[in-house]
């Protein structure tokens, strides 16, 4: 992690220093020089710990967060108890128990679904998908009529999605129908993610962890520097290995 | 799920659930029912309306105040009440009528924290509605209560307090009272809290500061300007909603305390940030253009500044990309900003025309939403005031005129009047190629509207006809008057609304063109336009009306002998006047007027009357007898150059006649 941040800081510094050089000639930086400069950059451990804690908390890894807190002494920026509640909702969606999820959200904060019509719609859509998945066609039809159709009346923007979902009912082999993708687990994950974000926002917490943003900045900074210099790059974020660039 | 042993799961049918509420119980046995109702209505407008019709609200509200209700029941009941009030107007009304507010307020002091939370949340939702009761801040106990809420450590409660301020604080006395009690300070401290607290606090600060220079001054001096700096910082917050609210707050302060903002820097920043926000999704993007319009409104300086930061290009670009999918509200807002930009400066109008705004917005004239149609008309109305392009006949094309003419028959009166305004300006087309407008069928519609019950509609349609009539061919002028009919014109000249009279007189003046051929319309049967004009001029009429009347007479006098005679009959005192010992013509009074145009129009009438020909000496003596010549002699050094010149012209001609 230190390595990654050092690279980012170094790249950014290099970008700034070399910005006066000609476009046609790029400065060449040897690996030794690069590694030496990297060592000079100081990153605080506390900052990194907070980033990790922020990641664990936002993604909802309660146990890991608790353990990390004990081992590193880093305080989470959110009450860990609320994470448990949030994770219970997320798990319910991921397991396809949508009604349970809805009830849990309402217990947590009754305003969330009232002020997030898109989320409410997606949850009901997911409910219909689950009914179709388990073959409860009668119930699905009734649900579509009683619950999904009114959503379309309240908000015409949802009509297209409703049509796609209801269309599933017309096929025997639902999985291989044109909108069969709705039955994939990825659809559940998408809804679960939406729920997670909405709960975080309602708790005045940022819905995205900081770490991915930092990595994006690293890639951007390297791309900027590529125009001005040849230097050892990180091409694989997961290993953060320095690779020599072809000249 | 709460454990409810040995109780059957509740039914899910709303009718059955609502019936259970009437059982008279208020204990734990009601819990599953309440919970089920709550879970059905949250997020679901249709279900809310259903339960409202089943009269569930009063029963649920009753549970809030019942002393036998255990906490879990109160919590569910409060949550349900809040949900009914969320986004559904009938729901808010039902909740208010059932007396929920006092009950919920009492619950704010409940020993159970969860009950307090639930009550605070629901109260906050109620106070976000326009229908919520007005909180009387001037009552001491209310102020104390509010302060206690603001001092709470519970986030829901502090947000509630800020919501109440944002909703109810209106009068300057209230604003000052709250400011003196330290409420502003407390709100400023909330700016450092969670994002929800910040947003509600920004709303509240805007309400307290609005149009109140005293409070605005106090605000900027809090902590030596630190509070103001926080506000500036929040303008660049990561959340769009916070940015927008911060902009609104800053604009409130700027409008109450403009001296503090003399440098353009902050205002330019506001313009740029708002332009960015217009592209945000959701309600933030919908409201941002209205905030921008409020910022730049009425200020030429800010119009120029906005143009210099490419506001027009950005807005047009945005419209071009997405007008098919944008929300009506956002479209309306963007159009209103464009209309505002085109309202004062010629350079703005020129730029907007260069950016092809008229063709960009033509299809918006047919938009489903009336407000969008109105806003599109405003844009055309303002841009078409561009002299340069008007001369080029740029606005007379079919593509603009036809949709506007269609809007004259729109079902909404506000659209009709907006279209009338636009046509008014388009009809000023200074070339004589007004054919499209004439052939569009617009004339007959305008003539119909000139007979409308609404004086505003009459006024605008007559004005449009007046503009259309100007410099038209003889035959086209005749066509218009045939359509309108002389009797209608006469009636309009005596309209109850003086503004309509003025436009009607101007219309008549534009109709007469000095060729002598308009006679047949002026004297048809027993209706005489000139009689109607004469009556107006001799009665109580505004300077504007008199000016138009005199221009009409001046044009008449340019025609032929019998016209001149008719005008003379009109302006010379009648036997009636003589008997009240007013030997002078009313023209004398006009010539003495401070209004330059009135003197001038009267002089032109006289010039045309004494134009060298046979009967002039006769006329000159008559004018002499009416005191006009003597009056003229006193005007040889009129301060207005034009008038001075015309006075001398008249006097010279009179002298020629003598010889």
Q: Which residues, 6+ apart, have CB-to-CB distance to A85 below 8 Å?
A: A104, A108
Rounded to the nearest angstrom, the minimum Cα separation between B46 and chain A is 7
Q: Enumerate the residues of chain B whose CB falls inside 8 A of the CB of residue A106.
A: 38-39, 42, 79
**pLDDT, position A100:** 96
Q: What does the pLDDT read at residue A50? A: 94
Range name among B72-86, B214-228, B364-378 with the lowest pLDDT average: B214-228
> DSSP letter string over B467-496?
HHHTT--HHHHHHHHHHH-HHHHHHHHT-S
Q: For B117, name the nearest residue in chain A, comparing CA atoms only.
A: A109
Nearest to A113 among B1, B42, B82 (CB): B42
The average pLDDT across B357-382 equals 92
Q: Which residue has the tokens 């807002």?
A: B333
Check pLDDT > 90 for residue B416: yes
| Cβ contact B27:B70 at 8 Å | yes
The DSSP 8-state label assigned to residue B133 in this structure reads: P
Once rounded to an integer, what is the mean pLDDT over residues B248-275? 90
With beta carbons under 8 A apart, name residues in chain A contacting B12: none
**Contact between A110 and B195 using a beta-carbon 8 Å cutoff:** no
CA distance to partner chain B, nearest, from residue A114 (Å): 4
Q: Which residues pair with B105 in a beta bridge?
A: none
pLDDT, one tens digit per residue, over A164-203 is: 999 998 888 888 888 889 999 999 999 999 999 999 988 8
Residues 6+ apart with CB under 8 A from B172: B211, B212
* H-assigned helices in B257-327: 264-277, 282-296, 300-308, 311-322
Contact state of B39 with A154 under an 8 Å Cβ cutoff: no
Q: State residue B556 phi and psi, 5-degree precision.
A: -60, -45
The pLDDT tens digits of the residues spanning A36-67 come to 999 999 999 999 999 999 999 988 888 899 99
CA distance A103 to chain B (A): 6
Of A103, A114, A153, the CB nearest to B43: A114
The confidence score (pLDDT) of residue B540 equals 77
Residue A103: list chain B partners with CB under 8 A.
Answer: 1, 35, 39
Q: How far is A131 from chain B (nearest CA, A)?
A: 18
Contacts of B82 in chain A (CB under 8 A): 110-111
Candidates A109, A110, A152, partner chain B, best to mutate (most B CBs within 10 A): A110
Q: Which residue of A has its CA nearest to B45?
A: A154
Q: Encode pLDDT of B292-317 as tens digits.
A: 999 999 889 999 999 999 999 999 99
Probe site for chain A from B43, B48, B113, B328 (most A CB atoms < 10 A) = B43
Q: Which of B67, B58, B69 is nearest to B28 (CA)?
A: B69
* B82 closest CB neighbour out of A103, A110, A206: A110
> Which residues of A lie closer than 8 Å to B, measured between beta carbons?
102-103, 106, 110-111, 113-117, 120, 147, 150, 153-154, 202, 204, 206
What ipTM is given for this predicted complex?
0.77
Report CB contact under 8 Å: A150, B82: no
**Residues B582, B574: Cα–Cα separation, whole Å:** 9
As to burial, measured by CB atoms within 10 angstroms (0-12 exposed, 13-18 middle, 19+ buried), residue B42 is buried
Least confident segment among A74-83, B151-160, B183-192, B329-338: A74-83
For A58-113, write each residue's pLDDT tens digit.
888 888 999 999 999 999 988 888 888 899 999 999 999 999 999 999 999 999 99
Please say whether the beta carbons of B464 and B480 come within 8 A: no
Measured CA to CA, the distance from residue B585 to residue B623 in angstroms comes to 8
**Considering Cα of A24, then A30, then A35, then A37, what sign does the dihedral take?**
negative
d(CA A108, CA B523): 83
> Which chain A positions have a beta carbon within 8 Å of B43's beta carbon?
113-114, 116-117, 120
The percent of chain B in helix, strand and coil, each rounded to the nearest 5, is: 70, 0, 25
* CA pair distance B223, B250, nearest whole angstrom: 17
Looking at residue A21, its pLDDT comes to 46
Task: Look up residue B305 and give its two tokens.
Answer: 């500044």
Whether residues A111 and B38 touch (CB distance < 8 A) is answered with no
Asked if A110's CB is within 8 angstroms of B42's CB, the reply is: yes
In B71-217, which ranges are E strands? none
Compare B246 and A245 and report the one with higher pLDDT: B246
Does residue A207 or residue A220 have the better pLDDT?
Answer: A220
Average pLDDT over residues B422-435: 77
pLDDT at A16 over 70: no
d(CA B226, CA B198): 16
Cβ neighbours of A102 in B, within 8 Å: 39
| pLDDT tens for each residue of B377-398 | 999 999 988 877 776 666 667 7
Given a contact cutoff of 8 angstroms between Cβ atoms, the answer to whether B245 and B203 are in contact is yes
Nearest chain B CA: its distance from A240 CA (Å): 29
Q: Which of B1, B2, B42 to mutate to test the interface with A (most CBs of A within 10 A)?
A: B42
Q: What is the pLDDT of residues B4-20, one digit of tens each?
A: 455 555 578 888 888 88
pLDDT tens track for A128-145: 999 999 989 999 999 999
Contacts of B194 in chain A (CB under 8 A): 204
Q: Chain centroid to CA B369: how far?
A: 17
pLDDT(B560) > 60: yes
Interchain CB distance below 8 Å, A110 and B121:
yes
- Give residue-wise pLDDT tens across range B113-169: 999 999 999 999 999 898 999 988 888 888 999 999 999 988 899 999 999 999 999
Average pLDDT for A192-217: 90
Under DSSP, is residue B373 helix (H, G, I), strand (E, B) or coil? helix
Q: pTM for the whole thing?
A: 0.80
- Pairs of residues, one from chain A and one from chain B, whose beta carbons lie less than 8 Å apart: 46
- Chain A residue numbers with beta carbons less than 8 Å from the beta carbon of B44 are 120, 147, 150
More confident of the two residues B442 and B616: B442
């Amino acid at each position: 992690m230190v390595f990654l941040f050092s690279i980012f800081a170094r790249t950014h510094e290099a970008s700034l220093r070399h910005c006066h050089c000609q476009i046609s000639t790029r400065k060449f930086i040897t690996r030794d020089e690069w590694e030496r400069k990297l060592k000079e950059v100081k990153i605080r451990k506390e900052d990194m710990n907070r980033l990790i804690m922020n990641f664990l908390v936002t993604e909802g890894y309660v146990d890991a967060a608790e353990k990390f807190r004990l081992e590193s002494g880093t305080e989470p920026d959110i009450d860990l108890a609320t994470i448990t509640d949030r994770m219970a909702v997320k798990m319910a969606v991921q397991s396809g128990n949508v009604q349970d999820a809805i009830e849990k959200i309402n217990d947590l904060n009754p305003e969330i679904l009232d002020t997030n019509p898109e989320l409410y719609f997606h949850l009901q859509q997911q409910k219909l998908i689950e009914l179709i998945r388990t073959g409860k066609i009668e119930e699905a039809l009734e649900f579509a009529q009683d619950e999904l159709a009114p959503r379309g009346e309240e908000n015409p923007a949802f009509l297209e999605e409703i049509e796609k979902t209801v269309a599933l009912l017309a096929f025997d082999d639902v999985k291989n129908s044109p909108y069969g993708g709705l039955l994939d687990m990825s659809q559940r994950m998408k809804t679960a993610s939406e729920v997670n974000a909405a709960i975080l926002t309602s708790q005045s917490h940022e819905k995205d962890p900081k770490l991915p943003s930092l990595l994006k900045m690293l890639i951007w900074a390297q791309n900027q520097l590529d125009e001005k210099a040849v230097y050892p790059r990180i091409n694989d974020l997961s290993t953060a290995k320095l690779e020599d660039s072809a000249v | 799920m709460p454990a409810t042993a040995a109780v059957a799961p509740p039914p899910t049918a709303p009718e059955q659930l609502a019936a259970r509420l009437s059982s008279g119980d208020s204990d734990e046995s009601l819990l599953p029912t309440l919970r089920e109702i709550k879970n059905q209505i949250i997020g679901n407008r249709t279900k809310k309306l259903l339960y409202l019709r089943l009269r569930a609200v009063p029963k649920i509200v009753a549970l809030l105040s019942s002393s036998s209700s255990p906490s879990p029941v109160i919590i569910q009941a409060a949550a349900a009440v809040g949900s009914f009030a969320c986004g559904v107007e009938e729901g808010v009304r039902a909740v208010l009528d059932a007396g929920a507010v006092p009950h919920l307020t009492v619950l704010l002091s409940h020993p159970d924290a969860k009950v307090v939370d639930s009550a605070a949340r629901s109260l906050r939702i109620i106070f976000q509605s326009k229908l919520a009761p007005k909180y009387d801040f001037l009552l001491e106990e209310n102020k104390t209560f509010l302060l206690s809420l603001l001092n709470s450590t519970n986030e829901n409660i502090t947000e509630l307090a800020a919501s109440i301020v944002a909703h109810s604080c209106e009068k300057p006395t209230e604003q000052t009272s709250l400011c003196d009690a330290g409420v502003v300070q407390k709100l400023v401290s909330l700016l450092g809290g969670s994002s929800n607290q910040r947003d509600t606090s920004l709303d509240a600060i805007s309400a307290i500061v609005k149009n109140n220079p005293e409070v605005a001054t106090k605000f900027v001096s809090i902590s030596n300007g630190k509070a103001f700096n926080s506000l500036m910082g929040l303008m660049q917050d990561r959340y769009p909603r916070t940015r927008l609210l911060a902009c609104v707050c800053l604009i409130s302060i700027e409008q109450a305390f403009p001296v503090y903002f003399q440098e353009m820097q902050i205002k330019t920043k506001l313009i740029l940030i708002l332009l960015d926000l217009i592209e945000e999704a959701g309600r933030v993007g919908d409201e941002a253009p209205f905030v921008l319009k409020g910022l730049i409104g009425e200020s030429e300086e800010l119009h120029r500044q906005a143009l210099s930061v490419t506001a027009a290009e950005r807005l047009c670009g945005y419209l071009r990309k997405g007008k098919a999918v944008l929300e009506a509200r956002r479209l309306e807002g963007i159009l209103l900003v464009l209309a505002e930009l085109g309202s004062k400066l010629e350079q703005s109008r020129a730029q907007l025309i260069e950016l092809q705004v008229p063709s960009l917005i033509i299809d918006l004239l047919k938009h489903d939403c009336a407000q969008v149609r109105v806003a599109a008309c405003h844009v055309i109305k303002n841009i078409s005031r561009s002299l340069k392009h008007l001369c080029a006949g740029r606005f007379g094309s079919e593509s603009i005129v036809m949709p506007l003419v269609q809007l004259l028959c729109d079902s909404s009166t506000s659209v009709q009047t907006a279209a009338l305004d636009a046509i008014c300006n388009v009809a000023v087309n200074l070339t004589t190629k007004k054919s499209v407008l004439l052939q569009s069928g617009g004339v007959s519609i305008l003539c119909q509207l000139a007979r409308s019950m609404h004086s505003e509609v009459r006024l605008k349609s007559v004005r449009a006809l007046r503009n259309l009539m100007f410099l038209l061919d003889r035959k086209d002028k005749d066509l218009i008057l045939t359509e309108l009919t002389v009797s209608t014109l006469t009636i309009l000249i005596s309209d109850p609304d003086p503004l309509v009279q003025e436009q009607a007189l101007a219309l008549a003046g534009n109709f007469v063109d000095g060729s002598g051929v308009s006679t047949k319309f002026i004297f048809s049967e027993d209706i005489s336009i000139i009689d109607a004009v004469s009556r107006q001029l001799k009665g109580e009429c505004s300077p504007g009306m008199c000016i138009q009347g005199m221009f009409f007479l001046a044009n008449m006098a340019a025609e032929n002998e019998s016209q001149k005679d008719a005008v003379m009959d009109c302006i010379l005192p009648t036997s009636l006047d003589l008997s009240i010992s007013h030997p002078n013509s009313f023209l004398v009074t006009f010539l003495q007027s401070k209004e330059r145009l009135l003197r001038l129009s009267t002089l032109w009438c006289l010039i045309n009357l004494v134009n060298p020909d046979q009967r002039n000496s006769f006329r000159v003596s008559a004018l002499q007898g009416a005191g006009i010549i003597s009056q003229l002699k006193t005007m040889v050094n009129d301060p207005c150059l034009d008038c001075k010149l015309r006075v001398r012209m008249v006097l010279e001609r009179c002298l020629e006649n003598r010889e």
